[in-house]
Structure 1
Amino acid sequence: MSFIKERKFIYLGGALVFLVTFWWFFGSESGEEKNLFASPKRGPFTVEVSTTGELRAKNSTSIRGPEGMREFRIFSVPVQRLVPEGTMVEKGDFVAELDRSEITSSLQDAQLELQEAESEYESSQLDSTLTLSKARDNLINLEYALEEAEIAVEQSKYESPAVQRQVEIDYERAKRKLKQARKNYKTEVRQAEVQLKEIEADLKQEEREVQRIRDIMKDFTIYAPEKGMVIYKRSRRDGSKVTEGSSISAWDPVVAKLPDFSVMNSVTYVNEVDIQKVRKGQKVDIGLDAMPDKKLTGTVTSVANIGEQRPNADSKVFEVIIEVNESDTTLRPAMTTSNTIRINSVDSTLYVPLETIHTRDSTNFVFKREGLAPVMQQVVLGLMNENSAIIHEGISSTDQLYLSTPADTTNIKKEYLSQEVLKKYKQQKDEAESGDNSAKKRTTRPVKGSN
């Protein structure tokens, strides 16, 4: 009987404990939302920027189409044939064929102009021959006239003085005509020579034009300048690659590249928020999507000064080039990489989740728990990463912090840091920012085209 009473007391005690526990967790909130808490952690803290990139060879040889197309008013040329991308070629192997229709039209126009120049040259030769022939006949006739005048002078010795004078005047006139005709003949010969030289120069120019077009037409069949793997050029505007049917610009007639696989770059794009953290010389951990087990390292070698709008991107991004430290025969252009840029790290520090941090009127604070009531505590923030932030002053590792704003903050207690503490950390921040700006100026190259 006593055993049954003992069991009854045990059951009643357990029920009482259950009711108290139930009331503590549910009834004590009086219908209010249950608060979640987090405690600060102490340990190593890293700041990283994670991006996705694409492998490209640092150095490569360009496979170029014909140069000088703009001289013939050709500004783009469609591609007719290409070898498959990734083809291993030897020096002199076929790579691509460009459409010759427009350059063929230019050749036909140039050939017609050449024919006209040839006709003009032949006609000028005939005209010169005919003109000079007439001039020579005229000289012969004038020589005969002079000879006749000379005979008349000899025969006039027995004539009256008036007749003799008239004959002498006719002789002098014939003599002057012959002299003038001989002088004019030399001028006509010189004029004919100059005219023929001008027409011949035009003819030679038309011949050179036709030959230049023929030489450029040969370049419409493109061959590899050396041994390597063919990787087609990618457009910076939309990222598309050269394919059959696309066009090659006369300003930049590069069709493909032969990459040097000994040194590879990972080309990535960083958003305008994170780009402020990225600097040349920072270390990078690189992973390959195609080979998850392979881990590489790299160094940031270039940070763009000007942002660009990339396809499928909501905001401006900045190009960042990362040089891969390791040389690996398995690395190929266009492989996708995962890049983790190591911005900063602290061996041991106190940090909290970002959800616990709030800002009002440029003041950073957290809500920490004191007993059953929240306290609004001012804090000094340090480095931040995607999930957490370092707290320099304001809390300890034993505090419990609200992960969200408490339901009622009407008469909440507020605790502020001293001005001496705030001034100290502000000075440290100003010195750090000054150093960063100086480093940025040293590593920033002038923008091309800027003054």
Structure 2
Amino acid sequence: MRKRNIYIGITVFFLTILAYFLFRPDSANEGNEILAEVKSGKFKVEISTSGELQALNSVQVLGPTEARRFRVGNFTIEEMVDEGTVVKKGDVVAVLDRTELFGRLEDKRLDLEQTLALFEQTQLDTSLVLRQERDNILNLQYDVEERELVLEQSQYEPPAIIKQNENSVERAKRDLQQAKDRYRIKLMQERARMVEVSAKLKDVQTEVNQIEEVLEKFTVTAPQNGMVIYVWGRGGKIKEGSQVSSWNPVVATLPDLTHMQSITYINEVDIRKVEAGQRVELGLDAFPEKKLTGKVTKVANVGQQRPNSDAKVFEVTIVVNESDPLLRPAMTTSNTIVAEEIEEATFIPLEALYTENDSINYVHLKSGKKQEVKLGLSNSNYVIVESGLQVGQQVYLSTPNWSENVAVNLLDELNGKRNPELQDISADAENLTQIETEY
């Protein structure tokens, strides 16, 4: 009898243990039933995105723009300092290939020699011609004087002789006057020839001087202090061996590192929240401990499609407030745009939000109820609850076991006013919850 009681006791014990394991709550589900408290405080609508630092102002380092005047369309960069080199005003940044322009210079120097020879020959010819004309005038003057003397000595000769001598004087004077007129014409002609040759000589000499000046500019120097940043050409960044067009001879840029901006791109869903003047919190991927502030200064009106993406984005310019020697062009920034700030709001995590019938937003309360909520603004993690919850209440971040058997407690104030546009927020939250449940 005693053994029988022992067997019965053991059987009851094992049945109790078995019943516990059969009817106890699902431990896995209990582990997933994470609670969050309804909070109150400052609420920020923030948009997070990455960007790239650029200088707000940059000075271009240019090759000789005058090269195209001498039919030099492109020139090759023979030498160039490394990108990122800090230079001072007047330091050499690059050396360009002078070969083609040297050829032009040699041609012009040969032309100059020929023009100079022509000038000297014309000058000599002019001197000879004018001297001959002056000698001729002088001889004719002597002839006039001689004939006048003969006329004077023939006063007592017969009238016929006197008349003949008078005619001879008149002819001599006429020849002298014609010689003087011819000299004036010759003088003007020779002066014109000299002016023409002199002008040509001056033009050729000027071209030679200009080519020599342009050749000096093939050694490209920095127009101011700064850091050398390569520019993009048709085949990538311009570097040693690259060709630069004389129509756009930008070799590099010297950014002003004291004033920087971050260029970022916002998707078409969030761009409606962004406007000029909004405050921005910035971080540097290269220096995680460095925190900066900025301001949105420009929002593009037209979207664009980024490479390897179907989504449309809009370019946004953010000016960095601080000046820091650590800031460098092309650094990656993490930008948090504060689209809106509410000093006092009640809010819950997005994961706590559910949707029913495409119009009812609700949460699961720790008390075992499903409560409809009226929603306000949201950010990437939280959403404002305008009514339906009290600060300090506990809500589930995952679907509790009892959810299917409980109806939603609706808000009277939303009857006939439920906003379908808010369902996107709820759907995102529900999807996030499902993913967390799976993993």
Q: TM-score, normalised by structure 2?
A: 0.69
Give the match for residue 72 of structure 1. 70
Tell me by how many angstroms 1:81 deviates.
0.5
Partner of 1:278 in structure 2?
Answer: 274
Secondary structure in 1 matching 2:280: strand
Distance in structure 2 (CA, Å) of the matches to 1:357 and 1:110: 84
Amino acid across the alignment from 2:238: V
Q: Contact between 1:55 and 1:264, CA under 8 Å: does it hold in 2?
A: no
Superposition map of 1:252-267 within 5 A: 253-259=249-255, 261=257, 263-267=258-262
* Match of residue 359, structure 2, among 365, 376, 381: 365
1:427 counterpart residue number: none
- Once the two structures are superposed, the pairs formed by residues 383-402 of structure 1 within 5 Å of their partners are 383-386=377-380, 390=384, 392=386
> d(CA) in 2 for partners of 1:238 and 1:365?
54
- Answer yes or no: is 1:171 the counterpart of 2:156: no
Match of 1:318 among 303, 310, 315: 315
Equivalent AA in structure 2 for residue 286 of structure 1: L
Which stretch shifts more, 82-91 or 37-46?
Answer: 37-46
Output the CA distance in 2 between the equivalents of 1:128 and 1:164.
Answer: 42
* 1:5-404 paired onto structure 2 within 5 Å: 6-7=12-13, 10=16, 14=20, 17=23, 42-43=39-40, 44-58=42-56, 63-89=61-87, 92-154=90-152, 157=155, 160-162=158-160, 164-224=162-222, 230-235=227-232, 240-251=236-247, 253-259=249-255, 261=257, 263-271=258-266, 273=268, 274-292=270-288, 294-300=289-295, 302-303=297-298, 305=300, 312=307, 314=309, 315=312, 317-325=314-322, 327-346=323-342, 347-350=344-347, 353=350, 365-366=359-360, 368=362, 382-386=376-380, 390=384, 392=386
The alignment partner of 1:342 has SS state of: strand
Decide whether the 8 Å contact of 2:231 with 2:250 is kept in 1.
no
Q: Unpaired segments of 5 or more residues in structure 2? A: 365-369, 400-409, 420-439
Is the alpha carbon distance of 1:238 and 1:174 closer, same or farther for their aligned partners in structure 2, counting shifts above 3 Å?
Answer: closer
Contact 1:368 1:399 in 2 (8 A): no
Aligned-pair distance for 1:80?
A: 0.7
Give the drift of 1:13: 5.0
Amino acid at match of 1:246: S
Aligned to 2:407: none
Aligned to 1:68, the other structure's residue is in SS state helix
Structure 2: distance between partners of 1:42 and 1:367: 18
Equivalent position of 1:411 in the other structure: none
What's the TM-score once normalised by structure 1's chain length?
Answer: 0.67
Q: Percent identity?
A: 35
| SS of aligned partner of 2:51 | strand
Matches of 1:118 and 1:202 in 2, distance apart? Answer: 9
| Bigger Cα displacement from structure 2, 4-13 vs 136-145 | 4-13
User: After the TM superposition, which of the residue ranges 306-315 and 134-143 deviates more from structure 2?
Assistant: 306-315
Deviations 1:252-308, CA, capped at 9 Å, x for gaps: 5443455554x241432323624444334333222222222x222121263254658
- Distance change >3 Å, CA 199–CA 312, structure 1 → 2: same
1:395 is displaced (CA, Å) by 8.7
**Greater C-alpha radius of gyration:** 2
Root-mean-square deviation over aligned CA pairs: 4.7
Q: Is the 8 A contact 1:63 1:254 kept in 2?
A: yes
Distance, in Å, in 2 between the alignment partners of 1:127 and 1:40 is 110
- Counterpart CA distance in 1 for 2:355 and 2:117 is 90
Distance 1:185 1:83, change over 3 A: same
8 Å CA contact 1:232, 1:242 repeated in 2: no
> By how many angstroms is 1:121 displaced?
1.5
Q: Which runs of 5+ in 1 are unaligned?
A: 26-35, 404-413, 423-451
